[in-house]
């Protein structure tokens, strides 16, 4: 027998004498695992699309409805009552209840329910209280339209799904991890969901983007309708209080003030940012004060906070729901369409039920009127048995069949038999006619709603918004974010040194030549005297090649930095001159800026951050018949080309010395600056409003709604105030008028 089989001894027969079936362990594990996976997916982690609730949430709300008498109930009592329906312990129920309460939608809370901003937990269940909100009563519960099933132990009845007439799933959001799949649906704005549902009923296009109670800013350009593969970026709202202080007013969804402060302190310890101290003044609203170190740019620090801390986070949604007993991935637009159709179906079902109730009411009022006014009860005086009484009533009603709404049932007869004599004696026919008229009037309204069901549903959504949509405006501001290059905003927390002869560079060579301040994520560019260069990452110590003539921090795609170069082509070749920029290169790959001829040598080299072109004096080595042994040259005479260009011939003769005579003047001219309103940033890529051409000490002026103005440089990392009403190039002669 193989090791993966069960056996009851060597005898294949059981005590009863029948053959025993062999069961393979692999089959048992497969069956058990599938059962477990199905249970976790269907009964614990993934929400049902019909009401947007997980089973534990549905049981909590059902238990709260059963307990509700208008007053608050202790959460401990609610948890205990829910355990009649929920097969898991009180801890899972308590956690789910607190999370529901913190969403501020279905539960009216009293006491300390924790704080989603700070991450503080709720008080113990014996101290806090809850009851269903008025909104929950209106959209979530209706025993007449609810389907029921037996609870896990068969002792009670619980809802299969609550008759939710509102897209709860998208309003609250959900996160659950099952076996083999997960669900992450982000919360959306209450009023926007209602407006989108109305547009669905009107066959209009709609857009749907997430919204968060914590506020902040959200970039939804890659939301992908909430499906797998999509991603949103969220940022804290950071305000420039003054030149030394930044204030965080709103935080990204999924973070807390504590986690953000921890991430800022970690980034500060690693040298990514430089701050002096942090004060957390958060109470009802977020207020984190970040005090900057002296000499630190607040704009650069703001970008660094987004790049290195939880002030910016990314979330990948994954909309998975249970539909018809199976998990299914669908976008939030489709989920809303399904929810809207379900609301329409429930409204129709409620109208149908009410119509039937009115018909029954009208039938009985008319039946009672016929029974009393025509004294049909007189025919039962001589009857001795119930059968005879019923027959007498049926016979008495028969002549009035055309006046009766539907066929008379035994239940109708039994109700007529139970009418008290006192009521018969005081019967008022006019009052009965009024009651029938009132029923007919309501019946007409119900029939009109059924005939115009779409309009009725639209009005229903509008009434929900009118009653419960106050103070539920969008909190997370939809914005487009620019991509922050971490290397550009990281604080210069290291010092770069170089040993030019031996060819080593790094942050640990403190006895060698100091180059500049840098960050530990910077790249550095190194030029050697043989005309080769390389870009490497900053480390403690790295070999970059001997005879270094230039080393600096490298900024990728920097078209403003121009290198002026004079080199000898080979050992005895021509003297070449060129101007070039270094844009995109591969790290740790060696490049050449000469023709590559063996023996080539760099004779003159400068790096110019704004495209400066200096004037030089070139002295040649004396040679027979050489009349002119020196001449002047200005680099502005040649064009800026790529690093692989070979350059122009400067002279055919050997050079003895080259020295600079004139300061370099930029040949790039002024820099055109645009302002992009969507990301509220400056750029040089023709995006947004052209502010003008900037150079040197030119400034930008901004005016705000609050009556303040600010002068800033044209640095692309500059941040601007939210309430800005004017931005333009500063002209000191211009006069502004304000009222």
Which residues are tagged catalytic? 127
Say whether 734 sits in a helix, a strand or coil.
coil
Q: CA-to-CA distance for 408 and 390, rounded, in angstroms?
A: 11
Q: Could you tell me if 601 and 685 are in contact, meaning their C-beta atoms sit under 8 angstroms apart?
A: no
Contacts with 232 (C-beta within 8 Å, 6 or more apart), sequence order: 186, 210, 218, 219, 220, 222, 223, 314, 315, 317
**Which tokens is 225 given?**
């309708």
What's the order of all strands across the beta sheet hosting 107-110?
A: 73-74, 129-132, 107-110
CA distance 306 to 688: 23
Q: How many CB atoms lie within 10 A of CB 608?
A: 20
536, 561 contact by CB (below 8 A): no
CA dist., res. 301 & res. 490, Å (int): 8
User: What does the alpha-carbon distance between residue 661 and residue 659 come to, in Å, rounded to a whole number?
Assistant: 6
For 687-703, letters b (16+ CB in 10 Å) and e give bbeebbebeeebebbbb
Residues 6+ apart with CB under 8 A from 404: 363, 366, 367, 370, 397
Question: What tokens does 476 get?
Answer: 């997370």
Residue 42 is given by DSSP the state I
CB of 288 within 8 A of CB of 278? yes
Give the span between the Cα atoms of 510 and 475, in whole angstroms: 51
Q: Is 39 helix (H, G, I), strand (E, B) or coil?
A: helix
Of 525, 521, 503, nearest to 512 by C-alpha is 503
**Residues composing the chain:** 739
Query: How far is the C-alpha of 401 from the C-alpha of 419, rounded, in Å?
Result: 21
- 540: CB partners within 8 A, 6+ apart: 506, 507, 508
**DSSP assigned state of 678:** T
Exposure letters 43-78 (e unless 16+ CB within 10 A, then b):
bbbbbbbbbbbbbbbbbbbbbbbebeeeebbbbbeb
């Amino acid at each position: 027998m193989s090791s993966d089989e069960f056996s009851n001894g060597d005898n294949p027969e059981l005590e009863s004498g029948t053959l025993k079936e062999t069961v393979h362990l692999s089959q048992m594990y497969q069956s058990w695992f599938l059962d477990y996976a199905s249970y976790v997916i269907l009964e614990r982690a993934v929400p049902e699309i019909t009401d947007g609730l997980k089973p534990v949430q549905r049981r909590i709300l059902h238990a709260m409805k059963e307990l509700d008498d208008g007053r608050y109930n202790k959460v401990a009592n609610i948890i205990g009552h829910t355990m009649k329906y929920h097969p898991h312990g009180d801890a899972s129920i308590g956690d789910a209840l607190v999370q529901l309460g913190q969403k501020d939608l279905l539960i009216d809370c009293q006491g300390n329910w924790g704080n989603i901003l700070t991450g503080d937990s709720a008080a113990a269940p014996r101290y806090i209280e809850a009851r269903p909100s008025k909104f929950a009563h209106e959209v979530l519960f209706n025993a007449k339209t609810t389907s029921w099933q037996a609870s896990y132990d068969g002792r009670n009845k619980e809802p299969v799904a609550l008759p939710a007439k509102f897209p709860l799933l998208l309003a609250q959001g959900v996160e659950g991890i099952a076996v083999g799949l997960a669900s992450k649906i982000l919360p959306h704005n209450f009023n926007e969901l209602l407006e989108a549902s109305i547009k669905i009923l009107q066959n209009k296009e709609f857009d749907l983007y997430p919204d968060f109670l914590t506020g902040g800013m959200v970039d939804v350009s890659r939301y992908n309708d909430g499906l797998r593969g999509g991603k949103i970026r969220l940022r804290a709202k950071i305000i420039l209080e003054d030149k030394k202080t930044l204030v965080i007013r709103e935080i990204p969804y999924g973070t807390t003030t504590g986690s953000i402060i921890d991430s800022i302190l970690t980034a500060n310890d690693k040298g990514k940012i430089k701050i002096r101290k942090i004060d957390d003044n958060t109470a009802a609203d977020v207020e984190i004060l970040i005090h900057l170190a002296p000499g630190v740019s607040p704009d650069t620090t703001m970008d660094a906070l987004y790049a290195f801390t939880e002030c910016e986070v990314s979330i990948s949604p994954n909309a998975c729901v249970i539909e018809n007993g199976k998990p299914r991935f669908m976008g939030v637009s489709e989920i809303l369409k399904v929810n809207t159709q379900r609301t329409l179906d429930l409204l129709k079902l409620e109208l149908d039920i009410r119509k039937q109730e009115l018909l029954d009411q009208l039938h009985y009022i008319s039946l009672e009127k016929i029974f009393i006014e025509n004294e049909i009860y007189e025919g039962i005086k001589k009857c001795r048995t119930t059968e005879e009484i019923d027959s007498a009533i049926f016979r008495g009603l028969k002549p009035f069949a055309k006046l009766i709404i539907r066929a008379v049932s035994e239940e109708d007869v039994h109700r007529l038999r139970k009418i008290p004599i006192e009521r018969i004696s005081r019967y008022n026919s006019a009052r009965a006619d009024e009651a029938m008229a009132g029923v007919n009037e309501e019946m007409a309204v119900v029939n009109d709603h059924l005939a115009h069901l779409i309009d009725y549903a639209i009005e229903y959504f509008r009434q929900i918004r009118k009653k419960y949509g106050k103070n539920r405006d969008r909190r997370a501001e939809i914005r487009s974010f620019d991509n922050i290059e971490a290397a550009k905003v990281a604080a210069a927390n290291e010092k770069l040194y170089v040993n030019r002869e031996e060819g080593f560079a790094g942050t640990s060579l403190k006895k060698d030549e100091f180059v500049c301040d840098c960050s530990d994520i910077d790249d550095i560019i190194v030029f050697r005297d043989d005309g080769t260069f390389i870009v490497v990452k900053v480390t403690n110590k790295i070999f970059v090649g001997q005879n270094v003539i230039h080393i600096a921090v490298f900024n990728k795609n920097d078209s403003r930095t121009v290198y002026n170069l004079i080199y000898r082509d080979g050992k005895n070749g021509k003297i070449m001159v060129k101007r070039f920029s270094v844009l995109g290169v591969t790290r740790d790959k060696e490049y050449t800026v000469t023709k590559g001829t063996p023996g080539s040598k760099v004779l003159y080299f400068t790096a110019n951050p704004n495209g400066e072109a200096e004037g030089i004096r070139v002295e040649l080595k004396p040679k027979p018949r050489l009349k002119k042994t020196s001449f002047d040259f200005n680099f502005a005479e040649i064009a800026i080309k790529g690093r692989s260009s070979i350059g122009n011939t400067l002279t055919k003769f050997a050079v003895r010395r080259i020295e600079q005579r004139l300061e370099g003047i930029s040949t790039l001219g002024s820099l055109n600056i645009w302002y992009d309103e969507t990301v509220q940033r400056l750029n040089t890529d023709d995006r947004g409003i052209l502010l003008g051409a900037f150079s040197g000490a030119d400034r930008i002026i901004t005016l705000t709604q609050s009556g303040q103005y600010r002068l800033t440089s044209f640095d692309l990392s500059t941040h601007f105030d939210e309430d800005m009403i004017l931005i333009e190039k500063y002209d000191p002669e211009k006069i502004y008028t304000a009222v």
